[in-house]
């Protein structure tokens, strides 16, 4: 059964390049990104892991732990990490999970029988401090994922979790946001005493809250 946004992310125990973890304990009230790869030594995923390693300071700044997953054996991960360092100019600096028995891939519905019944599809989940799935994206094998977009979405998720706002199309951190319709004008005046721009009664634009 597919995991949907709002579902609790399945817990699991696994061996990783940084030791054995229990996923829910590893998150420990923070945010997480869990993303899968079809297998080790694949070209597109090699570039993705290298770029994600370069973005680690950005994930750290947002309190986000990143974990990669492959169905290959743990001992094979070291060789792939060496290739990533050589070709992408960065060292793997986050855990890479070994899911040889495909238990985690099955729990997260990462096995795509129409593509291959033994390899994972390229899934990505953003999971919040409440252990619930906030974002789910699947990519085909031929197209590299956009991890700058993942950072952008996390900024939106963290902002909208704290404030009663939504983010418009192509929004980036620091830009104006939308007051959600559930907030009345009266309540909005208390939240935003400096006012807002009304384009339609349901479309009210306000500077991004800072607190």
| Residue 121, number of CB atoms within 10 A of its CB | 20
Supply the pLDDT for residue 178: 98
Structure confidence by residue, pLDDT tens digits, 75-127: 888 888 999 999 999 999 999 999 988 899 889 988 765 555 555 568 999 99
Supply the pLDDT for residue 120: 58
- Residue 79 bears catalytic tag: no
pLDDT at 151 > cutoff 70? yes
Q: Rounded to an integer, what is the distance from CA 34 to the centroid of its chain?
A: 6
Supply the pLDDT for residue 210: 85
Identical fold, 13-145 and 163-206: no
> Where are the chain's structural domains?
13-145, 163-206
Catalytic residue among 45, 69, 96, 165: 45
Q: Which residue bears the tokens 């795509």?
A: 112
pLDDT at 133 > cutoff 70? yes
Q: Determine the Cα angle at 49 with ends 45 and 55, to 5°.
A: 140
| Residue 17, number of CB atoms within 10 A of its CB | 18
CATH architecture of 13-145: 3-Layer(aba) Sandwich (3.40)
CATH architecture of 163-206: 2-Layer Sandwich (3.30)
Structure confidence by residue, pLDDT tens digits, 4-24: 999 999 999 999 999 999 999
DSSP letter assigned to residue 208:
P
Paired tokens of 124: 């990505």
């Amino acid at each position: 059964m597919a995991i949907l946004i709002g579902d609790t992310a399945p817990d699991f125990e696994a061996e990783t390049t940084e030791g054995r973890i229990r996923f829910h304990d590893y998150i420990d009230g923070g945010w997480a990104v869990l993303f899968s790869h079809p297998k080790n030594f694949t070209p597109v995923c090699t570039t993705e892991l290298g770029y994600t390693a370069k973005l680690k300071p950005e994930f750290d700044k947002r309190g986000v732990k990143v974990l990669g997953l492959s169905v290959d054996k743990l001992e094979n991960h070291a060789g792939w990490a060496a290739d990533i360092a050589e070709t992408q100019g960065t060292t793997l600096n986050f855990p890479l999970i070994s899911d040889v028995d495909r238990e985690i891939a099955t729990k997260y519905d990462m096995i795509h029988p129409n593509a291959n019944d033994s390899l994972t599809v390229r899934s990505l989940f953003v999971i919040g401090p409440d252990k619930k799935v906030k974002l789910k994206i699947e990519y085909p094998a031929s197209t590299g994922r956009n991890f700058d977009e993942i950072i952008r979405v996390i900024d939106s998720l963290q902002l909208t979790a704290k404030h009663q706002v939504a983010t418009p199309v192509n929004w980036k951190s620091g830009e104006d946001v939308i007051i959600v319709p559930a907030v009345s004008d009266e309540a909005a005046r208390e939240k935003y005493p400096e006012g807002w721009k009304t384009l339609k009664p349901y479309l009210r634009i306000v500077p991004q809250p800072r607190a």
